[in-house]
Amino acid sequence: MEINILEEFFNICDEPIFKCINCGVCSASCPISKFMELSPQKLIFYLVNNKKEVLEKNTIWLCASCLNCQARCRKDIDFSRVADALRHIYLREIARKKWLLELEIDKIKREILTKSPQQLFIALQRKFAYY
């Protein structure tokens, strides 16, 4: 499906990504960046250059919104909002019919599911669900 990712992005999010100077402080401060296919800084670079591959990378699903990068960013860009917006674009445009996308509840360990805080599970559904 042809989508103009930048246009879609600015429809729902006004994060000033064009101010990004690619210093990489976000990637360096991100505790999860080593598990990401594109580090936060690279993802913003791809997005600024209107590359819709950003939607295919696991980065947008891994950002846990801890805001470590936002607190460090010299240009006041909140990466968690960028990831949230891209997640929503994916869920709305591509995975419209799948409700819980990458999440297979059966695969979550039973002892985690029963012991974990409700808040965690609701947060997960909110991040991964289309609405």
Partner 1 sequence: MRYLYYPGCTLKTTGKVFDDSIKEVAKVLDIELKELTNWYCCQAIYTPLNDAPSLILGAMRNLIETQREDDKLVTACAACYNVLLRAQNSYFQDQLLKERVDAYLEEELRERIKIIHFFELLEEKVELLNSLIKKRNSFSLACYYGCLLTRPKGIALFSNDINPQRLENLFSKLGFNIIDFGFKTRCCGSYLTYTKEEAVKDCVEKIVLSIEEAAGNNNCQILTTCPLCQFNLENYQNKYQVFYFTQFLLSLIKGD
Distance from C-alpha of 75 to C-alpha of 130, rounded to nearest angstrom: 30
Asked if 108 touches partner 1 (CB under 8 A), the answer is: yes
Minimum CB separation from partner 1 for residue 12, in Å? 5
Among 18, 53, 66, 99, binds partner 1 (CB under 8 A): 66
Residues 6+ apart with CB under 8 A from 70: 76, 77, 78, 79, 80
Question: Could you tell me which stretch among 20-28, 40-48, 49-57, 63-71 binds partner 1 (CB under 8 A)?
Answer: 63-71
Task: Report the candidate in 103, 79, 78, 95 with the shortest Cα–Cα distance to residue 131.
Answer: 95
- Is residue 89 within 8 A of residue 53, CB to CB? The reply is no
The span from the CA of 86 to the CA of 5, in Å, is 9
112 binds partner 1 (CB under 8 A): yes
Choices 16-24, 43-51, 77-85 (CB under 8 A): range interacting with partner 1: 77-85
3-state secondary structure of 22: coil
Give the total of residues touching partner 1 (CB under 8 A): 40
Q: Is 129 in the site for partner 1 (CB under 8 A)?
A: no
**Footprint on this chain of partner 1 (rule: CB under 8 A):** 11-14, 31-32, 34-35, 61-62, 64-68, 70-71, 78, 81, 84-85, 88, 102-103, 108, 112-113, 115-124, 126-127, 131
